[in-house]
Amino acid sequence: MWDYSEKVMDHYRNPRNVGKIDDADAVGSAGSLACGDQLKIYLKIKNGIVTDAKFQTFGCGSAVASSSILTEMIIGKPIEEVRKITNKDIADQLEGLPPEKMHCSVMGYEALEDALKGYEDYQDLEDIRNDIEPKKEKIVCTCFNITENLIWDAIKQNGLKTVEEITNYTKAGGACGKCKGLIQDIIDTYYKKEEEKNGGLSPAQRILKINTIIEKQISPELQKDGGDITLIDIDGNKVYVKLRGKCSGCKNSMLTLKAFVQSTLRDAISQDIEVIEAGE
Ligand code: FES
């Protein structure tokens, strides 16, 4: 028996915004009855804001809870913000889902993405006029109709590393298993690209290198002028530091120091590094 949070149980027992919007501006769906879960989401959009959202789902309690909380998360929000919602956000809002049920949060994300894509396509009058063919996405798992893009997004948003995790999150690979080799290829390609982006360094090597550069290169340089730097934390491409300058109270001096630290790290490691002063 899986362990569900109070939030999941609440949304399962009292689902919000169940139903259909007859004059919806966007409709998206995910899953299929043949695969055991299906979700359809309806949106009303006015002046770039989601003014109403409803859903219909056939699936387990986690699918109901994920869909219900998703509608609450998006009503009243601008499309730009809604577009940034990931399956992890849905699971976090539910205070977690068992790993085997994470695919329910992915289904919510997928249906939302489908609705927004349809809405954007509809808005793009130029494409409609020119009758441009929509891009076909490559299907990796034919048993569950799961695309390469969905697997890629699931890896990126949740840091997945194994085929088993991909199956838990997307269902891909969970039936005949023929697609497992392809899924492994996608995982390998994703992490290879990540390493390339990080100058050929693994995440652990990257952290070590940032540490070394700050300690051996940047700190001695700042000390020459009576300043210094303390590394507080590293989170992905964000490097949190505490800076001390000769005239620490002067905003311009601190901005210069920060720019120096950022450009040194960018030159040595990668251009996506962002230096943030702790407490900023
Ligand atoms: S093709 Fe993916 S499980 Fe069958």
Query: Over 70: is that where the pLDDT of 136 sits?
Result: no
Note the Cα 273 to chain centre separation in Å: 19
- Let me know if residue 28 belongs to a domain: yes
Residues 166 and 213 in one domain: no
250 is catalytic: no
Query: Over 50: is that where the pLDDT of 124 sits?
Result: yes
Q: Which of 60, 104, 143, 176 is catalytic?
A: 104
List beta partners, residue 18.
55
Would you mind telling me the total number of residues written for the chain in this entry? 280
Q: How far is the CA of 273 from the centre of ligand 1 (A)?
A: 38
- Let me know if residue 22 belongs to a domain: yes
Q: What is the pLDDT of residues 175-220, one digit of tens each?
A: 999 999 999 999 998 888 887 776 677 777 888 889 999 999 988 8
Q: Does ligand 1 come within 6 angstroms of the Cβ of 143?
A: yes
Residues 52 and 187 in one domain: yes
- Give per-residue burial for 258-274: e unless 16+ CB within 10 Å, then b: bebbbebbeeebbeebe
Residues 94 and 178 in one domain: yes
Determine the average pLDDT of the residues in 128-137: 50
Cβ burial, residue 140 (10 Å; 0-12/13-18/19+): buried
- Let me know if residue 15 belongs to a domain: yes
Residues 33 and 67 in one domain: yes
- Let me know if residue 182 belongs to a domain: yes
Q: How far is the CA of 164 from the centre of ligand 1 (A)?
A: 13
Question: With the C-alpha atoms ordered 98, 116, 140, 161, is the resulting torsion angle positive or negative?
Answer: negative
Residue 68: CATH number of its domain: 3.90.1010.10
Residues 54 and 137 in one domain: yes
Q: Does ligand 1 come within 6 angstroms of the Cβ of 255?
A: no
104 is catalytic: yes
Average pLDDT, the chain: 85
Query: Looking at residue 125, what is its pLDDT?
Result: 44
Determine the average pLDDT of the residues in 53-80: 93
Domain boundary among the residues 145, 165, 196 is at 196
Contact 90, 108 (CB under 8 A): yes
Q: Does ligand 1 come within 6 angstroms of the Cβ of 115?
A: no
Nearest to residue 120, comparing CAs of 55, 28, 19, 21? 28
pLDDT grade, residue 129 (50/70/90)? very low
Residues 168 and 238 in one domain: no
Domain boundary among the residues 143, 174, 196 is at 196
Residues 93 and 176 in one domain: yes
Both tokens of residue 233?
A: 């934390």
Q: Does ligand 1 come within 6 angstroms of the Cβ of 181?
A: no
Q: Does ligand 1 come within 6 angstroms of the Cβ of 268?
A: no
- Let me know if residue 216 belongs to a domain: yes
Query: Looking at residue 227, what is its pLDDT?
Result: 80
Q: Does ligand 1 come within 6 angstroms of the Cβ of 179?
A: yes
pLDDT grade, residue 134 (50/70/90)? very low
* Confidence (pTM): 0.57
- Let me know if residue 188 belongs to a domain: yes
Q: Using CA atoms, how far apart are residues 265 and 273, in angstroms rounded to an integer?
A: 7
Residue 249: CATH number of its domain: 3.30.300.130
List beta partners, residue 228.
244
Residues 216 and 166 in one domain: no
Q: Using CA atoms, how far apart are residues 165 and 178, in angstroms rounded to an integer?
A: 16
Both tokens of residue 99?
A: 């790993």
**Residue written as token pair 């590393």:** 161
- The domain in which residue 211 lies consists of 203-277
- 3-state DSSP assignment of residue 37: strand
Domain boundary among the residues 178, 196, 214 is at 196
Query: Looking at residue 186, what is its pLDDT?
Result: 92
Nearest to residue 94, comparing CAs of 85, 105, 103? 105
- Let me know if residue 1 belongs to a domain: no
Q: How many domains does the structure of the chain reveal?
A: 2
Determine the average pLDDT of the residues in 261-280: 84
Note the Cα 126 to chain centre separation in Å: 29
Determine the average pLDDT of the residues in 13-17: 95
Query: Over 80: is that where the pLDDT of 50 sits?
Result: yes
Contact 246, 225 (CB under 8 A): yes
Residues 208 and 190 in one domain: no
Query: Looking at residue 128, what is its pLDDT?
Result: 43
Q: What is the pLDDT of residues 27-42, one digit of tens each?
A: 999 886 555 678 999 9
Query: Looking at residue 252, what is its pLDDT?
Result: 53
Residues 154 and 31 in one domain: yes
User: In degrees to the nearest 10, what's the CA dihedral of 92, 96, 98, 104?
Assistant: -40
Residues 191 and 209 in one domain: no
Where is pLDDT greater, at 195 or 86?
86
Q: Using CA atoms, how far apart are residues 129 and 198, in angstroms rounded to an integer?
A: 42
Query: Over 60: is that where the pLDDT of 143 sits?
Result: yes
Which of the listed residues 148, 167, 176 should we mutate to test ligand 1's pocket, taking the one with most ligand atoms within 8 A of CB? 176
Q: How far is the CA of 142 from the centre of ligand 1 (A)?
A: 6
Residues 99 and 229 in one domain: no
Determine the average pLDDT of the residues in 137-159: 89
Task: Report helix, strand and coil shares of the chain as percent, to nearest 5.
Answer: 50, 20, 30
Where is pLDDT greater, at 100 or 36?
100
- Let me know if residue 178 belongs to a domain: yes
Determine the average pLDDT of the residues in 152-164: 92
